[in-house]
Amino acid sequence: LDQKIASSNKPVYGVNTGFGSLYNKNISNNDLSKLQENLVKSHACGTGDEVPDEIVKLMLLLKIQSLSYGNSGVQLATVKRLIDFYNHNVLPVVYEMGSLGASGDLAPLAHLSLPLINLGEVRYKGKRMPSSELNSIMKWEPIEFKAKEGLALLNGTQLMSAYGIHCLIHGEKLLNLASTIGALSLDGFDGRIEPFSESVHRIRPQRGQVMIARKFRHLLAGSDIIAQPKKHVQDPYSFRCIPQVHGASADALYYVKDIFLTEVNSVTDNPNIFPDEDEIISAGNFHGQPLALPLDFLGIALAELGNISERRTYQLISGARELPNYLVANPGINSGLMIPQYTAASLVSQNKQYCSPASIDSIVSSNGQEDHVSMGANAATKTLKIVNNLYRILAIELITAAQAISFRRPLKTSEYLEDFMGNFREKVPFIEDDRVLHDDIANAVDFLKQVKL
């Protein structure tokens, strides 16, 4: 890159030209460093809520990974400073809103990069402070950007990627929790095991469906309740079709995971430097469309786990199958679990609203030069909201299912589910009389986030 600049007057986008629709403005060699610094300053216009610390740390890791392939034209010193941030848990303050998910996650990545030049804020050892204070503490000199460095830092999909990876990690856990809690609900409802039979799924061998049915057979092995004779011939869909519904979400997670594993091992800035070919090519690897569509899909898949969960909660409190209304021994004076179902319904409804796809939207920017954008960052941030709501929905189902199992005594569910429920009861005891159930829901959410499956 340095050789190209020194030996040629040929314009190289973002190196000796302006940015976006200003690509036709040539910049003198004396101003190349200032150009890159100005870029980071001018693009740091994020707003809204702050990006959670664990996602900021993922952004740092993914930016380091992408730059380290050597196709971005950055100094080793810049990448090493980002590694220092990561290893010392120095987390720049980044804001959720401002990225269109094309030209990269410009505004969020500008905030991630500000501390390199002694600007912006960071969190360090539990304290929020100006970057200048942090650099003084660490005895770090600000980085002097070379040609293209600001652009390399700002172009990229690291906000979308970090949110996606975070949501996938939680999504895989939530899928397992949905199955474990769903199995407990099935026994609490005195449901039938036949819909989970291997022979049923052998003739429709969708990958996720087969896996979920197998998991339920394992989870319920040895249950007194599942083995007892049944008075009813069929269960409602929210129980009978768990393999098909949970399985479809599982298949969606597999698809999204494959996309993101490719993305986080890619170079996503612009222009790209190819020393061996002696080429610098301005292209579009920063465009977030490959992530925006899967992020919307991931949100839908996770929301459906909550949708069917709430229906099981509703069935359990309905007074069916010899269970008391609202799962309380003395209904009337006690409302029991009437209102947690309302809360679950509210959360499910909100998730449906979050499932409106962001990836179908595009608003022209940069005077028409950037005329199609992915809105993948909005897809990313709303998918995290779906994840958080799903923990709450499943927490309510777990409270309900555990309560229902108590009314099946002396019969027991499987040994595994009894152990799971026993650990849960240390956090949320049986509901004898009405109490403030907000606390139970909060404790159940904490349990789900901490439990090892």
pLDDT tens figures, 302-358 = 999 999 999 999 999 999 999 999 999 888 899 999 999 999 999 999 999 999 999
177 in the same domain as 112: no
More confident residue, 22 or 332: 332
Q: How far is CA 442 from CA 4, 162, 395, in A?
A: 59, 26, 8
Per-residue model confidence (pLDDT) at position 415: 98
184 in the same domain as 76: no
Band of residue 186 on the pLDDT scale cut at 50, 70, 90: very high
86-109 average pLDDT score: 96
279 in the same domain as 185: yes
Per-residue model confidence (pLDDT) at position 114: 98
Decide if 102 contacts 156 (C-beta within 8 A). no
69-92 average pLDDT score: 96
What share of the chain in percent tops pLDDT 90? 87
103-129 average pLDDT score: 97
- DSSP class of residue 16? T
Look at residue 136 and tell me whether its pLDDT is greater than 70.
Answer: yes
Q: Give domain status of residue 17, yes or no.
A: no
Per-residue model confidence (pLDDT) at position 236: 98
207 in the same domain as 84: no
CATH number at residue 377: 1.20.200.10
Per-residue model confidence (pLDDT) at position 370: 85
233-260 average pLDDT score: 98
Per-residue model confidence (pLDDT) at position 426: 97
Per-residue model confidence (pLDDT) at position 21: 66
Look at residue 224 and tell me whether its pLDDT is greater than 90.
Answer: yes
Comparing 111-115, 143-147, 407-411, 448-452, the range with the smallest average pLDDT is 143-147
Q: Give domain status of residue 20, yes or no.
A: no
132 in the same domain as 210: no
Look at residue 88 and tell me whether its pLDDT is greater than 70.
Answer: yes
Look at residue 137 and tell me whether its pLDDT is greater than 90.
Answer: yes
198 in the same domain as 53: no
Decide if 353 contacts 373 (C-beta within 8 A). no
| 330/328 Cα distance (integer angstroms) | 6
Q: What is the pLDDT of residues 192-206, one digit of tens each?
A: 999 999 999 999 999
244 in the same domain as 148: no
204 in the same domain as 316: yes
Task: Determine whether 13 is an active site residue.
Answer: yes
Comparing 30-34, 315-319, 391-395, the range with the smallest average pLDDT is 30-34
- DSSP class of residue 366? G
- Three-class SS state of 130: strand
**DSSP string covering 272-330:** EEETTTTEEE---TT--HHHHHHHHHHHHHHHHHHHHHHHHHHHHTTT-TTPPGGG-SS
407-421 average pLDDT score: 98
Residue-averaged pLDDT of the chain: 95
Decide if 451 contacts 423 (C-beta within 8 A). yes
Domain limits at 291? 161-450
**The total number of structural domains that make up the chain:** 2
Q: Give domain status of residue 21, yes or no.
A: no
Look at residue 4 and tell me whether its pLDDT is greater than 70.
Answer: yes
305 in the same domain as 208: yes
137 in the same domain as 65: yes
Look at residue 100 and tell me whether its pLDDT is greater than 70.
Answer: yes
Band of residue 147 on the pLDDT scale cut at 50, 70, 90: confident
Per-residue model confidence (pLDDT) at position 24: 74
140 in the same domain as 201: no
Of 13, 124, 326, 354, which is the active-site residue?
13
Q: Give domain status of residue 222, yes or no.
A: yes
Q: Give domain status of residue 7, yes or no.
A: no
Q: In the listed set 156, 174, 196, which residue is the last one of a domain according to the structure? A: 156
Q: The tokens of 241 are what?
A: 């079709």
Q: The tokens of 195 are what?
A: 């819909």
Per-residue model confidence (pLDDT) at position 23: 66
